[in-house]
């Protein structure tokens, strides 16, 4: 039992990765659609490349979108509208019209009985059907339904008076009753008392129209089992295209039998598992440092799951919206935290997984892979806002261009292209702009570091660096010089210059604990090491590494920065005190060298290796008395060659050619620092 537990403990990292792989496969497959999968690719306007296809079962032929739209348009045109009649308004006007008159109008009514009777009779006639608002539309309704007292009456649309119809209607009534001498007074009274009491019932009409829409049949005709649908070589168009799309829809919408369901799920599991396993193997082969870090592996798989679930959610809402999902946010995010190659490979694996269930899978995968490549090629220095905006515009334009070209092939006509997808591509581009807040959230959740955070850490006005400048000004100045040298060297060989600059600024923060023990901070000729033995002095010097790590952890510096503190001396020897101890021992060989050796680890990346070279060269260059070009060249060669001989770079993925380039940069920079010039003849 103990052996089993020991074995599990030793292999816990591998067990975790396979557990993560299994959980990811399960979650993805669980949410995959489980209908039947149509095994043929349908490309409009192209010949049918497969054998003759016969109907495997009876199925209905789906109507085209144009046919459905035409039926809906006909329903709207033939729909008899409903209007609501307000009885209370009509009764109020007819019974209380005299109360609204002014003194002159009231006296006219009381003095002329005929006018009073005319007004009452005309009001009854007007409110027989009511007055409606002029709607401004050229509606050609012939008849309408008028809802009055919860009863529906059918009448001609023209029998509903509008406010504009009232004046000619009233004039004809006044003249027909021989009241032309009171025309102006009567018109003034009518316009004073009349009120609109009929309005179009928007809610009821929409319900009625929607109810009729739901009764539309989305199929026309049927194809019987065994009927030939299309022969090999026939062009996929017209009725053939409709039958093929109908058969595909039937396949994908029907529920599978239990045995078939198990088979489909097994197939999905195998393909998704194989895809994610390939990603793991890629990381293990080419990014071993990431593979060994379970937190980073979890982060990569989380991003894949997030975008797969987002795409599945959109597909369930409407397949037309599939391009709204900003899938290129995946390579953007991974490039910010890791590198472009891993970002692109992970993006392609994700696209392959989604290609199993999205419609028009080849077109989808082509567009997404092309967009992912453009994302990797165009997005650089993500912390610069202008770069992100420019890259998003380029990605969106590539989407639109590729989609347009693809559909020119499919449709054979520019007029047939669905231009609505261009809007979806624009929305996807807007979604990509949220990558910066997303990266910030990931940094807090997973404890990772991106270029955005590195830029903040590189600010020399930060609290920790200002403290370093106050407590150990010589060390701060040394760190600035190392940062400049390391950044130039990193740019020369294509390493991460921003990361190495930040690492260089913080690599010696451990010297803040005992700054006076380091020569760059000593302002007098008296050294505190004079009171210590060589072993004690070496211990103080070596301990600045451990003290730097402790300070960095207390100040919440990222692990990638702490790595520079750990490795910037590797396993080298504090040679000055080692030689002094040998001298004190009268040249005898020192048996316990570990007292004078840094504990490591040695550099394990290009960036940490560059920092070791630059730190050693910059620190030792202060001992040069009368530097010249030849002396500096020999000096740089000697220091770096010694580090190579001591195997300080065997774990770093850096080549001899790159080391030679770094030497060249350091020599040039030191020559500039010491302002060396060629010697002119007398």
Which tens digit of pLDDT belongs to each residue from 209-221?
A: 999 988 888 888 7
Least confident of 13-27, 124-138, 474-488: 124-138
178 — phi, psi (to 5°)?
55, 45
Q: Where are the chain's structural domains?
A: 2-35+258-441, 75-212, 451-673
Express each pLDDT in 129-162 by its tens digit.
888 877 655 566 788 899 988 888 888 888 888 8
Of residues 336 and 415, the one with the higher pLDDT is 336
Least reliable range by pLDDT among 209-223, 277-291, 382-396, 423-437: 382-396
Specify which residues 199 forms β-bridges with: 84
Q: How many CB atoms lie within 10 A of CB 11?
A: 11
Q: Each residue of 258-282: b (16+ CB within 10 Å) or e?
A: eeeeeebeeebbebbbebbeebbeb
The CA distances from residue 659 to 137, 609, 616, 648, in Å, are: 80, 9, 14, 12
Cα(466)–Cα(471) distance, integer angstroms: 9
**pLDDT confidence bin for 680, thresholds 50/70/90:** very low
**Please, what is the angle between helix 329-337 and helix 361-378, to 10°?**
40
Least confident range of 63-72, 97-106, 322-331, 645-654: 97-106
CATH 1.10.3470 fits 451-673, yes or no: no
Question: What's the average model confidence in pLDDT over 315-337?
Answer: 89
State the pLDDT confidence band at 17, using cuts at 50, 70 and 90.
very high
* pLDDT average, residue stretch 25-47: 77
**How far is Cα 117 from Cα 102, in angstroms, rounded to an integer?**
18
Cα–Cα distance list, 605 to 277, 381, 495, 563, 662 (Å)? 26, 21, 9, 10, 14
More confident position, 591 or 394: 394
Q: Tens digits of per-residue pLDDT, 172-200?
A: 888 888 888 888 888 888 888 888 888 88
Within 13 Å, how many C-alpha atoms sit on residue 502's CB side?
A: 23
Residue 120 has pLDDT above 50, yes or no: yes
Q: What percent of the chain has pLDDT over 70?
A: 90
The answer to which of 196-210, 235-249, 626-640 has the lowest mean pLDDT is 235-249
Q: Does the pLDDT of residue 284 top 60, yes or no?
A: yes
pLDDT (0 to 100) of residue 550:
93
pLDDT higher than 70, residue 677: no
**pLDDT in the model for residue 584:** 67
Tell me the pLDDT of the chain averaged across its residues: 84
Q: Is the pLDDT of residue 265 over 60?
A: yes
pLDDT at 26: 94
Burial of 7 (0-12, 13-18, 19+ CB in 10 A): exposed
- Specify the pLDDT at position 107: 72
430: CB partners within 8 A, 6+ apart: none
């Amino acid at each position: 039992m103990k052996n089993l537990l020991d074995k599990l403990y030793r292999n816990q990292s591998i067990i975790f990765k396979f557990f993560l792989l299994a959980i990811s496969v399960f979650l993805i497959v669980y949410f995959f659609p489980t209908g039947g999968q149509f095994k043929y690719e349908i490309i409009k306007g192209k010949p049918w490349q497969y054998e003759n296809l016969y109907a495997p079962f009876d199925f209905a032929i789906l109507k085209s979108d144009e046919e459905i739209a035409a039926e809906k348009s006909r329903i709207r045109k033939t729909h008899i509208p409903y209007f609501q009649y307000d009885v209370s308004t009509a009764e109020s006007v007819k019974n209380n019209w005299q109360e609204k008159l002014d003194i002159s109008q009231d006296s006219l009514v009381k003095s002329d009985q005929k006018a009073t009777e005319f007004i009452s009779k005309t009001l009854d006639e007007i409110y027989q059907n009511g007055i409606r608002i002029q709607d401004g539309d050229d509606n050609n309704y012939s008849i309408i339904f008028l809802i009055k007292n919860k009863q529906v009456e059918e009448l001609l649309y023209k029998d509903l008076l509008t406010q504009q119809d009232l004046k000619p209607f009233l004039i004809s009534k006044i003249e027909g009753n021989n009241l032309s001498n009171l025309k102006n007074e009567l018109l003034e009274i009518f316009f004073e008392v009349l009120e609109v009491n009929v309005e179009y019932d928007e809610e009821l009409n929409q319900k009625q129209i929607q109810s009729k829409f739901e009764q539309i049949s989305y199929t026309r005709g049927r194809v019987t089992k065994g009927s030939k649908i299309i022969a090999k070589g026939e062009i996929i168009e017209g009725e053939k295209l409709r039958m093929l799309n109908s058969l595909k829809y039937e396949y994908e919408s029907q529920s599978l039998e239990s045995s078939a369901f198990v088979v489909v799920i097994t197939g999905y599991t195998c393909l998704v598992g194989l895809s994610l396993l390939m990603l793991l193997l890629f990381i293990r082969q080419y990014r071993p440092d990431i593979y060994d870090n379970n937190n980073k592996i979890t982060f990569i798989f989380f991003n894949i799951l997030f975008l797969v679930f987002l795409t599945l959610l959109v597909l369930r809402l409407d397949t037309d919206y599939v391009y709204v999902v900003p899938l290129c946010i995946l390579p953007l995010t991974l490039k910010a935290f890791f590198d472009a190659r891993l970002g692109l490979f992970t993006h392609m694996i994700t696209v392959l997984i989604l290609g199993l269930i999205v419609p028009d899978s080849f077109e989808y995968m082509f567009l997404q892979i092309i967009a992912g490549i453009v994302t990797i090629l165009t997005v650089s220095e993500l912390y610069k806002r202008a770069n992100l905006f420019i890259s998003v515009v380029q990605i969106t334009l590539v989407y639109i261009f590729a989609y347009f070209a693809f559909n020119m092939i499919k449709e054979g006509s520019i007029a047939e292209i669905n231009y609505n997808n261009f809007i979806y591509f624009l929305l996807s581009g807007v979604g990509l702009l949220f990558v910066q807040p997303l990266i910030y959230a990931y940094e807090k959740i997973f404890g990772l570091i991106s270029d955005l955070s590195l830029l903040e850490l590189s600010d020399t006005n930060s609290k920790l660096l200002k403290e370093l400048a106050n407590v150990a000004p010589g060390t701060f100045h040394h760190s600035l010089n190392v940062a400049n040298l390391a950044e130039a060297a990193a740019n020369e060989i294509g390493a991460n210059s921003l990361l190495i600059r930040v690492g260089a600024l913080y690599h010696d923060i451990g010297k803040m604990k005992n700054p006076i023990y380091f020569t760059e901070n000593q302002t007098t000729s008296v050294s505190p090491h004079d009171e210590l033995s060589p072993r004690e002095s070496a211990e103080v010097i070596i301990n600045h590494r451990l003290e730097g790590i402790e300070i960095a952890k207390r100040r919440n510096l990222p692990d990638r920065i702490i790595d520079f503190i750990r490795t910037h001396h590797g396993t080298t020897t504090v040679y000055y005190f080692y030689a002094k101890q040998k001298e004190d021992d009268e040249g005898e060989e020192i048996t316990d060298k570990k007292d004078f050796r840094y504990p490591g680890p040695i550099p394990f990346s290009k960036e940490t290796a560059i920092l070791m070279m630059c730190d050693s060269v910059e620190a030792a260059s202060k001992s040069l008395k009368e530097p010249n070009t030849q002396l500096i060249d020999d000096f740089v060669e000697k220091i770096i060659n010694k580090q190579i001989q001591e195997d300080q770079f065997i774990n770093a993925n850096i080549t001899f050619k790159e080391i030679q380039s770094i030497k060249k940069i350091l020599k040039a920079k030191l020559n500039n620092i010491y302002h060396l010039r060629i010697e002119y003849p007398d």
